[in-house]
Chains A and B, each alone.
Chain A
Amino acid sequence: MSPILEIRGLSKQFGGVAALAGVDLAVEEGEILGVVGPNGSGKTTLFNVVTGVHRPNAGSVSFRGRDITGSAPHAISRAGIGYTFQQAMAFAGLSMLENVQIAGEHVRAGANANTPWPTPQALLDFVGLTALADEKAGVLPFGSLRLLGLALALATQPALLLLDEPAAGLNDRETTALVGLVRQLPGHGITVCVIDHDMKLMQMLCRRLAVLDFGSKIADGPTEAVLADPKVLEVYLGGDL
């Protein structure tokens, strides 16, 4: 089976900094792939380029066999790639429910279309925020804001979901809940690609890891093998592994 997302030779410069230096990566349908690497290694930039926030300087991205390199963010969302940003965000002045409603209003046939999709209420339920449905998103505690972000991305009916540090700032209970939610997604036809620093979390979620360092992929394979790889250990020496 061909991968759902295929990244080839992707490069992105910011001024003199090569945030991505020719990254190849394939995401297989139905998996939960982890992307790890030290701070500033280019993980967020990788997601930003895939989702059209930034244009790459070189390389290509194809999603379900279609070239989406350099497409606009809204077009990529409509094609079926959901994205939660590293900085949790929502439409602060609108209620939680309105937030999720808006997120579901711009879905096009290209997304995860054929499956019947949960209603906005059901999505809030899924992430455990039903009790706060009528609260303005701006007054939410941080953990709830992260979960709302997940509900927003899910409302776009993604076939592939990119999560950038979804557990950052969450307490243990919230993190456990998040792991439970993310694990269910492949069963609903959603492939997941997740960035996080927390290796324990990544071991729970991912059977496969890709490691970035200075904008290059230095390892890619089964989680245990990658975590035993001397190159990876060297990168993380004295770090948080």
Chain B
Amino acid sequence: MSEGSTPQGKHPTHSVAPALRSLVPVLVVLTLIALVPLLSPSNRFLSLAISAGINVIALYGLSVLFGQTGILSMGHAALVGVGAYTAAILARDFGVGFWLALPVAALTSAVFAMIVGIPSLRVGGHHFVIMTFAFGQLLAIVLTNGGDYTGAATGLDMVGPVNLFGADMGDLTRYYLMVVAFVAVAAVASWAIINSSYGRTLRAIRENEKLAASLGINVGRHKIGAFVVSGVFAGISGVLLANFLGHISPTQFASFPSIYLALMVMIGGARLITGPLAGGILVAFLPEVLNLDPVQSRIVYGVCLIAVILLLPDGLIAGIAAFVRKVFTAKSKERQRQENGVVSNPSEARR
């Protein structure tokens, strides 16, 4: 511990600047998306975009869980459902409005995540996938058999308008802009978590659980924590969904929607902050763009998922980025070779 000590300032604890840069593309894209109403899009487009945005909010939570710890929830739509039903029941029974419903629903979904997470994450990753899947099915059954309280199979109507600073959010364009704002908040929150020392601890667990535990990291509790965090995002997504649709029913939150959410996060990629946004938009608009019926689109998604898992395990965006980088470095190397007339040392070329 004697000579050659580095000056304290050379290695900052968290390199904030490059991390901040990763947030820029998302915010730029979201700003562009917020300008879309200027092109007077159709109501159908706005509705589709709102649904996609609501999914993306849940995806940002899922990306903290899956991207940072490598564990995947196959019942995430159920946590969205908990948020949605919480909002609907609070509005019906207590006249609770949108803004108060948000924190309450976020908390309720987080508590449900904890209840599901504690027994299943203590056992291990594979059990977790099955347990979350079972939770989704169970919730649908409970909601379907909940009588008048949950509205049984028909579900519940969402009563009460959404107001923001006195403006009625019932207007489609306004609701669209509000959802875009929520997506931005979700992206920033997810980014902040990933770049915190907590996020780094989660990454350490993903890299090597055994080593992490030997260094004093409570692996089980951190995994449950990440699932609870993802539950908060899901709850907020649920409140936005209930208020947008005006009516919710159990099948919306059963296993198929959950598989779709898992699909979106895998296609987009969970480790990059652009991933959830890309995955959510792609899965929402692909059938529209290709003009597919529901059965065809399921087939396309299945094929996409297999292709992504096999070819781009870090998701589409990371795959494209890697491809671009490869082309770019190949080109710059080519140029260097032409300039120098010699084959350069590849390890130097990287610097």
Contact call A122/B1, Cβ cutoff below 8 A: yes
Instruction: Enumerate 29 A-B pairs (CB-CB under 8 Å) in ascending A order.
Output: A53-B210, A72-B218, A73-B210, A73-B213, A74-B213, A74-B215, A74-B216, A74-B219, A85-B210, A89-B208, A89-B210, A91-B207, A91-B212, A98-B200, A105-B197, A106-B215, A106-B216, A106-B217, A108-B216, A118-B1, A121-B6, A122-B5, A125-B1, A125-B2, A125-B5, A130-B4, A130-B6, A134-B11, A152-B211
Asked if B214 is at the interface (CB within 8 A of a chain A CB), the reply is yes
Distance from B22 Cβ to chain A, minimum over Cβ atoms (Å): 15
Interface residues of A in 108-166 (CB under 8 A from B): 108, 118, 121-123, 125-126, 130, 133-134, 152-153, 155-156
Q: Mark B183-210, 1 if CB is under 8 A from A, else 0.
A: 0000000000000010011011001101
In the complex, residue of chain B having the shortest beta-carbon distance to the beta carbon of A80: B216
The size class of the interface chain A forms with chain B is 35 or more
- CB contact under 8 A between A133 and B216, given known A91-B208, A97-B11, A102-B200: no
Distance from A136 Cβ to chain B, minimum over Cβ atoms (Å): 11
User: In the bound complex, what is the Cα–Cα distance between A53 and B201 (angstroms)?
Assistant: 20
Asked if A51 is at the interface (CB within 8 A of a chain B CB), the reply is yes
In the complex, residue of chain A having the shortest beta-carbon distance to the beta carbon of B5: A125
Distance from A221 Cβ to chain B, minimum over Cβ atoms (Å): 30
Query: Chain A interface (Cβ within 8 Å of chain B)?
Result: 51, 53, 72-74, 77-78, 83, 85, 89-94, 97-98, 101-103, 105-108, 118, 121-123, 125-126, 130, 133-134, 152-153, 155-156
Asked if B338 is at the interface (CB within 8 A of a chain A CB), the reply is no
| Further contacts, 19 of them, CB under 8 A, given A73-B213, A93-B207, A121-B6 | A72-B213, A74-B216, A74-B218, A77-B213, A78-B216, A89-B211, A90-B208, A91-B207, A94-B203, A102-B201, A103-B215, A103-B216, A106-B217, A106-B218, A121-B8, A134-B11, A152-B211, A153-B215, A156-B216
In the complex, residue of chain B having the shortest beta-carbon distance to the beta carbon of A126: B1
Contact call A102/B215, Cβ cutoff below 8 A: yes
User: In the bound complex, what is the Cα–Cα distance between A237 and B10 (angstroms)?
Assistant: 54
Contact call A73/B214, Cβ cutoff below 8 A: yes
Contact call A156/B215, Cβ cutoff below 8 A: yes
Distance from A103 Cβ to chain B, minimum over Cβ atoms (Å): 5
Asked if B340 is at the interface (CB within 8 A of a chain A CB), the reply is no
A-B residue pairs, 4 tightest by C-beta: A106-B216, A73-B213, A77-B216, A91-B207
